[in-house]
Amino acid sequence: MIRDQMTMADEISAAEPAGRATGGKIVIALVIACAVGAFFYFDLGRVLSLDALKQNRDQLLAFTETHYAASVALFILAYIAVTGLSLPGAVILTLAGGFLFGAVFGTLFVNLGATSGATLAFLAARYLLRDWVEQKFGRWVEPLQQGFAKNAFSYLMTLRLIPLFPFFVVNLVSGLTRMSVGRYAAATALGIIPGSFVYAYAGRQLGTINSLKEIASPQVIAAFVLLGLLALVPILYRRFTARQA
């Protein structure tokens, strides 16, 4: 009788943390869903457009000159929200950063906001989805997990440097791996510097830009691809030396 009661108590105590974890996941998922839904319901995307940025550039510049510190804080927070919730508009914010703060400081502030937001998206995907993915697709995911864990930094640097891979997709997929948060944040911060600088620098000539395609020319994309391939060199070198050995 006593043993049965102890067993039942152990089962209840084990179920309570699992229940709290499930409840926490539901709450976080609802908060994210509500925030994303509000963004599209109120059509906030119209604010994060090239036309809106060009129409309001004088007011934005005047506010930044008068309240520089507040402008920097609001800019970084806005970038964290956009990237953390995987919302469209990061490119427009990067242009705005270059226009308002200059190419160098704009790149710095973009990097802070983008890295912080990407890390939040990474953690959210890991907390909400990784256990479920591993339970459902463990046999297929495990070999990929092991291969990615060995060369996580180089792989992520490549994905960040090549703009062909959507930023938010890389955030969410990386959260399903076993990469450490520190390594993820470091690879993200380094990998987005070239692209951020290109768009921030272009933001200084905001009045002459009529389309985002003018910035992401084939030559620029080719340069990013070459940079991304260079990040794979250490992996290829290790594999070559291993075969030689």
Amino acid at 21: A
Would residue 67 count as lying in a domain? yes
How far is 4 from 202, CA to CA, in rounded Å? 71
Would residue 210 count as lying in a domain? yes
How far is 110 from 96, CA to CA, in rounded Å? 10
User: What does the CA dihedral 102, 221, 158, 234 come to, rounded to 10 degrees?
Assistant: -110
128's enclosing H/E stretch is: none
Would residue 22 count as lying in a domain? no
- Check residue 113 and give its pLDDT: 98
- Check residue 157 and give its pLDDT: 86
Would residue 37 count as lying in a domain? no
Closest to 191 in 3D by CA, of 237, 152, 164, 154: 154
Among the residues of the chain, which ranges form H helices? 2-41, 50-55, 57-66, 68-84, 90-101, 103-125, 131-150, 152-161, 167-175, 181-191, 193-203, 218-230, 233-244
Q: Which domain holds residue 95?
A: 47-244
If you compute the radius of gyration of the chain from its CA atoms, what whole number of angstroms results? 22
* Contact yes or no for 78/93 (Cβ under 8 A): yes
Would residue 53 count as lying in a domain? yes
- Check residue 15 and give its pLDDT: 46
- Check residue 132 and give its pLDDT: 78
Distances (CA, A) of 219 to 44, 197, 223: 32, 16, 6
- Check residue 9 and give its pLDDT: 43
Record the pTM: 0.83
Would residue 229 count as lying in a domain? yes
Q: Mean pLDDT per segment of 10 residues, for the chain of length 245 residues?
A: 47 54 88 95 92 94 97 98 95 96 96 97 92 72 67 85 84 88 94 92 85 72 68 61 60
Domain count, the chain: 1
- Check residue 187 and give its pLDDT: 93
- Check residue 6 and give its pLDDT: 42
Would residue 23 count as lying in a domain? no
Sign of the alpha-carbon dihedral angle for 211, 214, 216, 221: positive
Taking the alpha carbons at both ends of the chain, their separation in whole angstroms is 63
Would residue 71 count as lying in a domain? yes
* Contact yes or no for 80/121 (Cβ under 8 A): no
Give the residue carrying structure tokens 């450490």: 180
Angle ∠(149,153,158) on CA atoms, nearest 5: 115
- Check residue 89 and give its pLDDT: 93
- Check residue 219 and give its pLDDT: 63
